[in-house]
Structure 1
Amino acid sequence: MTETQKPTVVYTDGACRGNPGPGGWAWVVPNGQSASGGAPQTTNQRMELNAVLEAVRSVEGPLEVFSDSTYVVNCFRDRWWEGWIRRGWRNSQKKPVANRDLWEPLIELVLAREIEFVWVKGHSGNRWNDEADRLATEAADSQDVVDVVEEQSLF
């Protein structure tokens, strides 16, 4: 990163109605762009990861990613990913790393760029974390509506 290029701040969040269940993800650049999406049957951790992955894919340049997911932040802060790769994608309990299909592309993108991860307490009145949560929850809820419509159409 050059001295004149400041990182773009982005807030990410995931939501799930049930675990597993209908889920949503979102990312928000304060006073800027945002995106959200969902999946009809997923987990909260997958949605947290998807939010970060989509933000990193969509926002160019150096990033400062704020997340209320210790799962995501600790992976990079404590370099869990190095051990996973060294152990053949096994965690410290020698079990397969969950969500490897999302971790692998995210780690690849993070290694190719300057990205810092910062933990922010969820549901604590942080304007931008709350906005990411709202968008992710709306995406999860819209997935729930899709499921209900599909189920009703079967009868």
Structure 2
Amino acid sequence: MGLLCVPLQTDIAQKVPAIMSSTSRQTSPRPTSKKTAASSRAKKIAPVAEAAPEPEITVVETIAEIAEPVVNPFLTDMVCAFDRAWYEREYPDVAAAGFDAATHYRETGYREGRQPNRFFNSNDYRAANPDLQEYDGDLFLHFIFYGIQEGRRLR
């Protein structure tokens, strides 16, 4: 379990007078001295201020660690491939009409709610990504061109 720690708020008004009355604080004008060419070109160094007191830390809430999901390294390749044979088996009306499966999906199939392969389901993808509820384009292409790079979930 990881811990989320935040500093407690302290009464800054109580600390300001102590800082302002510090002995290291310059309260009188500096004595004037002759400046030489070398000293006027030298960098001026600011006086070092006293360190501010460390704020107290308290545990506000504990946060459970999130396990990394196990991902099939071949899943992306399987999801991103249009499966012509599967599409024709799944949608025999397309093959019976003599349409090319890929062309049919690209032009009308995705609008009809047809899936490009057995691994990608546009309804699941839309449900897992609520910002795509109003998206009217091809969700399969959205996943290929944007979803993978953005780390979007399929389900």
Which band: TM-score by shorter chain?
under 0.3
Whose helix fraction is larger, Structure 1's or Structure 2's?
Answer: 1
Query: Which structure would you say has the larger RCO, counting Cα contacts within 8 Å and 6 or more residues apart?
Result: 1
TM-score under structure 1 normalisation?
0.20
Whose strand fraction is larger, Structure 1's or Structure 2's?
Answer: 1
